[in-house]
Amino acid sequence: MTQHNTAGAPGGPGTTGAAGTAGTLGVAVIGTGRMGADHVRRINELISGARVAAVVDIDAERVKALAGAIEGCAAYTDPAAAMADPAVDAVLIASPGPAHEAALLQALEHDLPVLCEKPLTPDAASALRVLEAEQRLGHRRISVGFMRRYDSEYLRLKSLLDAGGFGRPLMLHCKHRNMATPPGFTNQMMINDSVVHEFDTTRWLLGQEITAVSVLRPTPSSHAPEALSDPQLVLMETSGGAIVDVEIFVNCTFGYQVRCEAVCETGSARVGDGHAMVTQSAGRWGGEITPGFEARFEEAYDREVQRWVDAARRGEAEGPSAWDGYATAAACEAGVRAQATGERVLVEMIEQPAFYR
């Protein structure tokens, strides 16, 4: 195992090297597409206590240009080479999902803190291999990028439900709408790339596991690309007896919306209405709908990465764990099967290891 100047095991003090408590965390960003490039900008311009030490992408010209604009940043096309760089103390993975397992296992071999954008891996079997590797390491290193857990509105909803003033949550009503999909977007991606967030949000808000998934498919919108069944209604059942419905509509044409209403025994609470500013002019009133997820969750991403950096410098892991990544992968597998068969599908999972409790 190669040891870098990274923080020690959770609960221990940081080293006196680059990632020491008073030092700066050198981060390698793996994958520099839409999400990765945004994280490079975020770390370079907004996040305290960290710097972009390396960028990694199969597009050599892209990473060379990115690295050239950041002082002290190296460019790589091989994640393993970047992780072997002594200047790298932590890894942020924003590459496509199928590449995550190899990068995660390499990061664990180097004992590097990792923030991995969702999905942890594309399926439950590969996620389980990552779980087993982290447990062999003996301490948590992986955090999964479910940014809604860092959104101010969702945090308020979580606090309200935890306080119990409205009684037991009975149902969640969720909406997840995108303006349009990129070329090649598939039915399976509606679950694995979109509803995956509702799977995690449900588990987090309710503190319950998802036990079964059903998917209903109405007549597709005229704006849905050929072979894409859009919109869909995803129904979840949980271990605590709650029911969750998710409207997933990825070609709604009018903007990006994410909403969640919790219906409890003596009250309800809803987030995501986007009423920060309402205008009145020329006999009309209204507001703006954000065009994409970057604008809607910009502050959540900032908070998520800052918290991850702060935790890594302390030698700790912050936020959703590899277990959360595995649990959502299992729910997604059930969702994809339900989508294809029209049947109610049980979620198959191992028992949660004590390591993650």
Looking only at the bridges linking them, the beta strands covering 210-216 and 232-238 are antiparallel
Residue 174 identity:
C
All domains in the chain, ordered by first residue: 25-148+301-320 (3.40.50.720), 153-295+327-356 (3.30.360.10)
CB 213 within 8 A of CB 344: yes
How far apart are alpha carbons 161 and 263 in whole angstroms?
A: 10
Mean pLDDT of 35-61: 97
Q: Which residues contact 100 (CB under 8 A, 6 or more apart)?
A: 93, 116, 119, 120, 121, 122
User: How many CB atoms lie under 10 A from the CB of residue 23?
Assistant: 17
Mean pLDDT of the residues in the chain: 91
The pLDDT value recorded for residue 11 is: 36
198-210: buried (b, 16+ CB within 10 Å) or exposed (e) per residue?
bbbbbbbbbebbb
pLDDT score of 17 more than 60: no
The pLDDT value recorded for residue 297 is: 77
Using alpha carbons, list the distances in angstroms from residue 207 to 271, 291, 330: 18, 31, 16
Q: Is 260 helix (H, G, I), strand (E, B) or coil?
A: strand
Mean pLDDT of 195-217: 98
How far apart are alpha carbons 201 and 210 in whole angstroms?
A: 11
Mean pLDDT of 97-110: 97
Predicted confidence (pLDDT) per residue in 69-95, tens digit: 999 999 999 999 999 999 999 999 999
pLDDT grade for 288, boundaries at 50, 70 and 90: low
Q: Which residues contact 163 (CB under 8 A, 6 or more apart)?
A: none
Looking only at the bridges linking them, the beta strands covering 169-177 and 243-249 are parallel
Mean pLDDT of 256-274: 92
The pLDDT value recorded for residue 296 is: 76
How far apart are alpha carbons 165 and 168 in whole angstroms?
A: 9
The pLDDT value recorded for residue 283 is: 80
Identify the CA nearest to 57 among candidates 42, 49, 48, 67: 67
pTM of the model: 0.89
Mean pLDDT of 314-334: 97
CB 194 within 8 A of CB 311: no
The pLDDT value recorded for residue 16 is: 32
109-132: buried (b, 16+ CB within 10 Å) or exposed (e) per residue?
ebbbbbbbbbbbbbbbebbbebbe
Q: Which residue has the higher pLDDT, 293 or 191?
A: 191
pLDDT score of 322 more than 50: yes
The pLDDT value recorded for residue 19 is: 47
Q: What are phi and psi of 255, to 5 degrees?
A: 145, -175
Using alpha carbons, list the distances in angstroms from residue 338 to 201, 299, 307, 347: 20, 34, 36, 10
The pLDDT value recorded for residue 292 is: 67
Mean pLDDT of 31-57: 96
Mean pLDDT of 273-287: 68
What percentage of the chain carries pLDDT values higher than 90?
85
Gyration radius of the chain over CA positions: 21
pLDDT grade for 23, boundaries at 50, 70 and 90: confident
Using alpha carbons, list the distances in angstroms from residue 82 to 73, 87, 112, 158, 269: 11, 9, 12, 38, 45
How far apart are alpha carbons 2 and 4 in whole angstroms?
A: 7
pLDDT score of 333 more than 90: yes
Lowest mean pLDDT among 57-71, 85-99, 142-156, 295-309: 295-309
pLDDT score of 12 more than 50: no
Q: Is 178 helix (H, G, I), strand (E, B) or coil?
A: coil
